[in-house]
């Protein structure tokens, strides 16, 4: 996809889940990160499960629900029901709560499958038990939010576009990034590079640093845990490191990509990438995404983090590339 140098109309929106200020883990310095929704990879250990689907989703936190029934009143599809006893089988997110009326139990039943994610219940729920993942936000509004960092932080690091896979909305990324560049704000694009090269090339001119996620070295491992093989990713990475500054970021999951064969394969890919590969960041697997899985009504697949010994060993191994390596 070739992107014209003419930015798209400001009336256009991007589909995002969140804009995080004061982000310390998405590139150099204190940054503002925009999380785009929708991803074309499905990493088994994903810690932002709400960014995978490119459709809107509603999350439900049973522990917050007080069974007041406000959601049911506003739902256009009548999917939320407060029942005094358990009902049917095709129901997720039942909760037993004390009803506002004494001596009565209320269960919140919700037909999640039929939800259109219109967000009305989210707006109405007084307890904030419902959350909307995914909003169409106008580009000018996102732009304003991103500029705020520059206004408040003298040492502002810049803006990072992340996700999901932000380059699935490359037009929007290009528009926002060119606006940032015009203001002298540094732009990072966090991508897994599982995209046609043209798409990546399209944002080259407005990106200062690419944060490239690398999931596994061996194609089979990649296919097993991420859903696709990694040939295209490696090829894109090779091309990209010739043209732009990159950091490679590897989420390390014990038993998946911390084995000797895996590390060897990753080193093979990363070796000889040239000077524009500035840093390799190793990220420990963590389970902070669990509440989000629960809110989405699914179980989080369980993995383990590498122990300290393994971490040290990997640090040593990756240093062989001659690139700056750190655990983050």
Which residue ranges make up the site for other proteins (CB under 8 A)? 21-22, 24-25, 29-30, 32, 66, 68, 70, 100, 102, 126-128, 148-149, 152-155, 284, 327-328
Q: How far is the CB of 315 from other proteins (least distance, A)?
A: 13
Closer by beta carbon to other proteins, 197 or else 313: 313
| Spatial separation of the C-alpha atoms in residues 271 and 15, rounded to whole Å | 36
| Spatial separation of the C-alpha atoms in residues 68 and 74, rounded to whole Å | 12
List of E strands, 156-228: 156-162, 187-191, 209-213
Closer by beta carbon to other proteins, 303 or else 327: 327
DSSP annotation of 113: G
First to last CA, the chain: 34
Q: How far is the CB of 87 from other proteins (least distance, A)?
A: 22
Closer by beta carbon to other proteins, 131 or else 190: 131
Greatest pairwise CA separation for the chain in angstroms = 71
Which helix (H) or strand (E) segment holds residue 132: the answer is strand 130-133
Q: How far is the CB of 42 from other proteins (least distance, A)?
A: 26
Q: How far is the CB of 119 from other proteins (least distance, A)?
A: 14
Q: How far is the CB of 166 from other proteins (least distance, A)?
A: 20
Closer by beta carbon to other proteins, 1 or else 72: 72
At residue 279's C-alpha, the angle toward residues 276 and 283, to 5°, is 145
Q: How far is the CB of 81 from other proteins (least distance, A)?
A: 17
Closer by beta carbon to other proteins, 34 or else 168: 34
Closer by beta carbon to other proteins, 48 or else 221: 48
What is the spatial order of strands in the sheet that 135-138 belongs to? 135-138, 13-23, 30-36, 156-162, 187-191, 209-213, 246-252, 277-284, 324-327
Q: Which pair of tokens denotes residue 305?
A: 């983090």
Closer by beta carbon to other proteins, 145 or else 201: 145
Backbone angles phi, psi at 85, to 5 degrees: -145, 165
Q: How far is the CB of 84 from other proteins (least distance, A)?
A: 17
Q: How far is the CB of 154 from other proteins (least distance, A)?
A: 5
- The residues with which 158 forms a beta bridge, in sequence order, are 31
Residues with Cβ within 8 Å of residue 186, at least 6 apart in sequence: 27, 28, 157, 158, 159, 180, 208, 209
Which helix (H) or strand (E) segment holds residue 36: the answer is strand 30-36
Closer by beta carbon to other proteins, 84 or else 328: 328
């Amino acid at each position: 996809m070739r992107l014209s140098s003419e930015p798209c109309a400001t009336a256009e929106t991007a589909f995002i889940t969140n804009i995080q200020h004061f982000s310390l883990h998405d590139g150099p310095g204190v940054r503002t990160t925009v999380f785009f929704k929708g991803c074309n990879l499905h990493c088994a250990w994903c810690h932002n499960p709400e960014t995978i689907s490119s459709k809107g989703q509603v999350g439900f936190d049973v522990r917050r629900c007080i069974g007041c029934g406000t959601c049911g009143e506003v739902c256009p599809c009548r999917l939320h029901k407060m029942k005094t006893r358990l009902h049917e089988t095709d129901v997720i997110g039942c909760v037993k709560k004390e009803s506002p009326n004494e001596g009565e139990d209320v269960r919140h039943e919700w037909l999640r499958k039929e939800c259109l994610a219109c967000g009305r219940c989210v707006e109405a729920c007084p307890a904030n038990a419902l959350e909307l993942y995914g909003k169409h936000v106008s580009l000018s509004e996102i732009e304003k939010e991103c500029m705020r960092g520059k206004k408040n932080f003298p040492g502002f690091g810049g803006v990072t576009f992340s996700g999901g896979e932000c380059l699935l909305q490359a037009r929007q990324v290009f528009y926002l990034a060119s606006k940032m560049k015009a203001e002298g704000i540094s732009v990072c694009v966090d991508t897994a590079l599982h995209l046609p090269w043209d798409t990546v090339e399209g944002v080259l001119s407005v990106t200062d640093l690419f944060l490239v996620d690398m999931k596994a070295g061996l194609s089979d491992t990649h296919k097993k845990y991420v859903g696709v093989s990694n040939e295209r990713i490696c090829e894109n990475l090779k091309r990209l490191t010739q043209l732009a500054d990159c950091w490679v970021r590897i989420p390390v999951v014990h038993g998946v990509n911390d084995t000797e064969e895996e590390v060897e394969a990753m080193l093979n890919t990363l070796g000889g990438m040239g000077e524009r590969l500035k840093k390799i960041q190793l990220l420990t697997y963590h389970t902070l995404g669990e509440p989000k899985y629960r809110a989405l009504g699914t179980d989080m697949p369980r993995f383990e983090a590498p122990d300290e010994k393994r971490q040290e060993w990997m640090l040593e191994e990756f240093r062989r590339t001659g690139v700056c390596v750190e655990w983050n």
